[in-house]
Amino acid sequence: MKARVTVTLKNGVLDPQGKAIEGALQSLGVDGIGSVRQGKVFDIELNTTDKAKAEASLKAACEKLLANTVIENYKIDLI
């Protein structure tokens, strides 16, 4: 089973890297960019076919390592 975990900053948390990307896009002449928020994507392969077990393992991985839950949200998609 495969999963994709997407980690993004919570609303209200400053995103200096997103601001830098936004500025770079504008300086490159890319039009129509209102704002940029950056995040992380993890593609993970699991050795189980049990969806509940996979989601529990991924939640534990996010809580312990993949996301700083004080300032970040995460979303788990089984694919």
- Residues near 61 by Cβ (< 8 Å), separated by ≥ 6? 5, 44
Count of C-beta atoms within a 10 Å radius of residue 74: 20
Residue range 38-56, pLDDT digits in tens = 999 999 999 999 999 999 9
Model confidence, pTM:
0.88
Residue range 2-15, pLDDT digits in tens = 999 999 999 999 99
Residue 10: give the domain boundaries: 2-78
- Distance, CA of 72 to CA of 1 (rounded, Å): 25
Q: How many domains does the chain have?
A: 1
The CATH number of the domain holding residue 39 is 3.30.1280.10
